[in-house]
Structure 1
């Protein structure tokens, strides 16, 4: 089936390229700049003679392709500037470059001073695979662009979440990974993408080379197959440019932090047929945690080639090497956070977590005649990580004594992806269609290394602890009361498990514009996943075992309706479902079917005061009616089951909530954005053995809120070049620990306190130089991110950073 599927799409590709070869059409393109040479986005460009138009991108570029030969009048207009016109003569197969420089109109500026930029409901999401205006999409989305990333001096992905409603940090396991969730469900590696390709989030992504971060909330199974229900995020890196430029920057801050970065771009030739971009950075820092440090190197080269007038080839590389101290936090005693200083580190001084990630992505885009486009992408990712250090702090006694063990693990993963998408627009009578037809296939090959984790005592003479995981004994309240060991034991490899997974899918989606006021989005995907037979090589016993393979498939439909009573208001409702592949077997030793998750969403998107203010509200409900859990009894129905691998589809988890977003375009130098979300994720059906009906799922705050205010002094002010901002971020109370149940009545939940973070920022720009200052957690608030009860990591205290940059 997989071979047949891809033969079909490749034939489709070749056929359409061949048909398109006879097209004889021209193009008008160019760039919109301010009077001082800065790019301007969201400028309207239209042709007077025909009903064709577009808007400029964030780089100021615009394109009007597929034009018949003729004479055209280009009209450029934008709020607050003079409208410009220019006449051009276009011949067949000709590409005309026409740039414009905007001139401010003082009379219009006196009425409304608006900085160039797009509003919240004007930013399309590339992760959607087809260009749909946010107002036409029956789904909540959020895009955090480069201007916000620079203004907030974003260092890691969790900084971005402070501006995205309903998406939050679940935990920071070991200090080397940020666990992100939305609407009650985790954004694992299946839900994390970079440039449209899945990205292993076991290592924290590097943000210096990021152009924007996109969030598609809710159900996305039709586009990506096996994804969790809460949503997906897509990291979009900086792309090549055909003009020469770049930036050199240096950031420093609290706890011996420093980070030089370089960003260079330009064209290879005078005809601008090929361009490049290279981002690279090095970071080294200490921590507010004693003996904890980190070091990372990152480089992101990319190359763009225009193959003729209608075809583009983009090649992107991505390399990250991250080495840091694993830190599982302050510990807990009987499911209560230990009262030790925020800075106290309980691990070993020599511990390490070494991660390396390599990615190569090739994207070929071909413009077909009459608004059709074919896009193919192939990607490869190699990821490996090795952890060696103190075991997670479990079993600490009331007096603080802890028999400290060790842990060592290594994972190596190869990931391959191929996908092909055909997008187009056409009409059937008066009804217009925007269609997406695509297919994808990906493959994982994961090797997990387990190590012998006992016999750590120095001479092995004490028979009582010879086979226990005891490295030494410490007291977390009084570190000086015991002598800590500093030697690094040798741990032999115990076994290697190799797990191959192959997935494929085919999907079709259509946005049907019944009228200017009513639009329907409908689609369906078929997904197939084959967990191939896994091998388990036992090194000590020189033997190989096997884990049987199994397959799952599912259909994922999507249906949404959008009603726009006026152009500035969009009301929508949608239904989608997704599926979760389940591990284990049922009582008859058969593989479990996937759990189907139903998702409902309604909302409204509004642009008020001529688009200066956007207000969006969304309500949702997500129901997993077949939540997999350990089976109560064996096949006879009476014998209790004690094997956690024998499972059943029983019970129910429900997530429901509301999200509110408010954002403005910059007005008189001010810009404002705010958001609030309420989420309730609970077990709504169960038998009490594994969980109890009404219990909240752990790590999910019921309330989150954010607000940010930014001001930039105008050119006519004595303080021109200065800007300042404040951001407030609130996370409500959460639960960690472990849910008690009939199966585990001694488990307990840990209540984590809510917290509010206040961040201040300021900047100054003069000519090509800029200086940005930032202070985070101004009030030095203390709270924790906790995984179970064994990675209790305090949030960072008050910190200061400064960044100086020079644009080339």
Structure 2
């Protein structure tokens, strides 16, 4: 371990230097300005630009409308609050050494449509990029050397999004894996799930509800340095940020109805319990039911998400946030291609794609409970402490089916499971914002404990039966719960209990060499311990192992035009633990972790007061030390994988009421030294090219005020399920799918209508299943 630490002496030296010198700097004789921003109706306003006129310092108010400016020297200042569509307000304040000066703003709507004054704030909402969770530091997008996308709740509302899969269609370079409300995506050539909520674990198997989402954060590239490897992939990570309570009574109740039996009711109720003493409650509810466009299949779920915030005083706050979830549904539809690859694509198979291959009585129940407790404490004007505890319990009980094509028939495979999973994460962060010899430092030091336990109980029928792919077959309806249970009564269960724990420490520092030139240096040390898999039938535990890994991260940012254009580069790391392998000769080989390293260059722009936001980058990811089997059947650790490409995102406000979100990505992914038959060929890693577009227009005429229309869609290029030099290829053809929405937003209600798959395009998902045809839906929301 000592030798590995010595390899990163510069990072270790920086860590000690910033820790030792930063604490005295935290006690420097400066003051703080803080306050909240709200409308005249009492609605707290996020993303309001607060500027300190004399030294041009700018910050944004957070989701609760709170802003804070630290390290302000003694004196009298003018502060301006600006928010598009509202009158700017400038006020004066006196700052004293070691004191907090409070200044609140109440902004009013623009009364007259003067030249250059916008009446639509959509570009400010859609272009929102600021989040302290992305880097665990107070960094603006142009100061962050990592590429990330944010999807705010305003887009979910405008596009009448009812499933989590549709949220990610707005993110450049992300494509769908499983469907039917699954949690499976592809990003930069790697499969990815969404296992983070508010920056910490929420590891569950059921569908993710969108009712309580404030925004989605998608971080691109290996991100294990700050978030570990258990919840991320080499392609990046997805973090859900949930709605938080605020101090004004407000609510909304909505109903959505649509084709294929869609019926959905949601409620968002913010009810301050004791406003004077800072006790606030917000509750989100959702009931969702929909059938299927196939000959069977349904999804039904109930969701309750209370969030309780207690603001003890100006320094201390406690948040308790929960999600209670009940889901009953048929399993995701899977139809794997022919083994022989005699027909190369989904279109050439000539199948009836509306066949589900099993019935509504073969269901899977997935209840879950998630609890998050967060304590934030302001230690000083420069240092903050955050302690977070998160526990997620979920179970999976029922039937999972996957269908494998074989010639002119399909083998229907079934698994019955009654398994439980329990995941806990505890995290402690200390965040500082201070100066050393006139150079700004933003530093986070963190400790992290993660543990996951599972108790799995399964039965398998491989296959249950075999039916014809085309034409009539009386056996098609043979697969029922009664017939499956009769078979499983004769099958012995497979049972095992697994445990794993990770102990980590990390730091990340952003050091301003000059005001516009910044360096990020980060390092994580991660100790993974597997308790192995316990088989109660054999009373034996196998697979115990222990691994330690270092994960560094470096970044450079230079703002060519301050707060407008920045150039960036990064080196980022991700890793995967490898367990011991029993070799054919009876020996047990212990392998080291596999590591993924990314180099990336690009630029970010934020021009015209936020009307134009863009990020363009080129990345190169290489995974080394992958464990593979050689020609003798032995496992060796010399395989690899490469993934390289470029991405571009554009969020623009071209004219009053006209907003555009667009993105394009190109990715080339392939294996290296794993198997001569497939090396260099793209495999099941998502499409090589993707594009997304959304155009919205809000009418500006007074007689049509509140009316808006939007249209957009997604393009996915040819997607390989598999290809090899000896067997050929099987792929999903490229496709473009369009969606359209029209809405009317009034003071007390909002009415929207939507048509998904506008042209009724026939296309397929990555598990070889036809995606949803055209569906019309309508949404009515009543504002309280």
TM-score normalised by structure 1 residue count: 0.86
Q: Is the counterpart of residue 707 in structure 1 residue 693 in structure 2?
A: yes
Secondary structure of the 1:289 match is coil
1:657 and 2:645 are equivalent in the alignment: yes
User: Does the 8 A contact of 2:324 with 2:368 survive in 1?
Assistant: yes
CA distance 1:662–1:240, shift in 2 (3 Å): same
SS in 2 for 1:232: strand
Is 2:569–2:600's contact at 8 Å kept on the other side of the alignment?
Answer: yes
- Out of 672, 680, 702, the position equivalent to 1:694 is 680
2: CA distance, partners of 1:440 / 1:112: 45
- Tell me: CA distance 1:583–1:475, structure 2 relative to 1, closer, same or farther (3 Å): same
Q: Would the alpha carbon gap of residues 740 and 270 (structure 1) be closer, same or farther in structure 2, given more than 3 Å must change?
A: closer
Residues 695-727 of structure 1: per-residue CA shift (max 9 Å, x gap): 11214211100111101123x421111011011
User: 1:114–1:295: structure 2 CA closer, same or farther, 3 Å change rule?
Assistant: closer
User: Which runs of 5 or more structure 1 residues have no equivalent in the other structure?
Assistant: 2-12, 454-468, 633-639
Equivalent-residue separation in structure 2 for 1:606 and 1:23 (angstroms): 35
Give the equivalent residue in structure 1 for 2:470: 477
Match of residue 271 from structure 1: 276
Give per-residue Cα distances to partners, 1:408-427, cap 9 Å, x unaligned: 12331110101101111121
User: 1:522: Cα distance to partner?
Assistant: 0.8
2:114 aligned with 1:100? no
Shift of 1:281: 0.8
* Structure 1 match to 2:422: 414
Q: Map residues 728-747 of structure 1 onto 2, 5 A cutoff.
A: 728-737=713-722, 739-740=723-724
- Following TM superposition, by how much is the alpha carbon of 1:152 offset from its aligned partner in structure 2, in angstroms? 1.0
Alignment partner, residue 385 of structure 1: 396
1:105 and 1:293, CA in 2 relative to 1: closer, same or farther beyond 3 A? Answer: closer
2:364 corresponds to which residue?
353
Deviates further, 158-167 or 101-110: 101-110
- Of residues 434, 445, 451 in structure 2, which corresponds to 1:426? 434
Match of 2:297 in 1: 292
Deviates more, 1:600-609 or 1:132-141: 600-609
8 Å Cα contact 2:217-2:238 kept in structure 1: yes
**1:553 Cα shift?**
1.1
Aligned equivalent of 2:554: 559
C-alpha deviation, 1:294, in angstroms: 1.2
Maintained 8 Å contact 2:51/2:58: yes
1:6 is matched with: none
Query: Partner residue of 1:250?
Result: 255
Which structure 2 segments of 5+ residues have no match? 2-18
| Residues 1:572 and 2:582 aligned together | no
- Tell me, in whole angstroms, the C-alpha distance in 2 between the residues paired with 1:470 and 1:355: 24
Q: Do the aligned partners of 1:520 and 1:561 also contact (CA within 8 Å) in 2?
A: yes
CA RMSD of aligned residues (A): 3.1
Aligned-partner Cα distance in 2 for 1:268–1:185: 45
Q: What is the aligned partner in structure 1 of residue 599 from structure 2?
A: 600
State the partner residue of 1:529: 528
1:721 paired with 2:706, answer yes
- Residues 276 and 301 in structure 1, CA contact (< 8 A), matched pair in contact too: yes
- After TM superposition, the score normalised by the length of structure 2 is 0.88
User: Which deviates the most, 123-132 or 751-760?
Assistant: 123-132
CA contact (8 A) 1:760 1:776 kept: yes
Deviation of the 1:597 alpha carbon: 1.3
**Whole-Å separation in 1 of the counterparts to 2:425 and 2:107:** 42
Q: Is 1:438 matched with 2:446?
A: yes
Aligned to 1:547: 542
Asked if residue 673 in structure 1 is aligned to residue 661 in structure 2, the reply is yes
The answer as to 2:773 corresponding to 1:773 is: no
Does structure 2 conserve the Cα–Cα contact (< 8 Å) formed by 1:495 and 1:537? no
Q: What do residues 745-782 of structure 1 show as CA deviations (whole Å, max 9, x unaligned)?
A: 6x653111011011000100122110011111111112
Q: Which moved more, 1:43-52 or 1:572-581?
A: 43-52
Residue 495 of structure 1 deviates from its aligned partner by 2.8
Partner of 1:171: 178
Please give the alpha-carbon distance, in whole angstroms, between the structure 2 residues aligned to 1:403 and 1:702: 30
Task: Note if contact 1:475-1:481 (Cα within 8 Å) is conserved in structure 2.
Answer: no
Alignment pair present for 1:342 and 2:353: yes
Q: Do the aligned partners of 1:683 and 1:692 also contact (CA within 8 Å) in 2? A: yes
Q: Evaluate the alpha carbon distance shift between residue 99 and residue 87 of structure 1 in structure 2; reply closer, same or farther with a 3 A threshold.
A: same
Matches within 5 A, 1:512-523: 512-523=511-522
* Residue matched to 1:786: 766
- The residue that corresponds to 1:500 in the other structure is 499
Pick the aligned partner of 2:734 from 754, 757, 782: 754
The match for 1:394 among 395, 399, 404 is: 404
Partners of 1:182 and 1:88 lie apart in 2 by 47
1:463 aligned residue: none
1:131 aligned partner: 138
Cα distance in 2, alignment partners of residues 754 and 187 from structure 1: 21
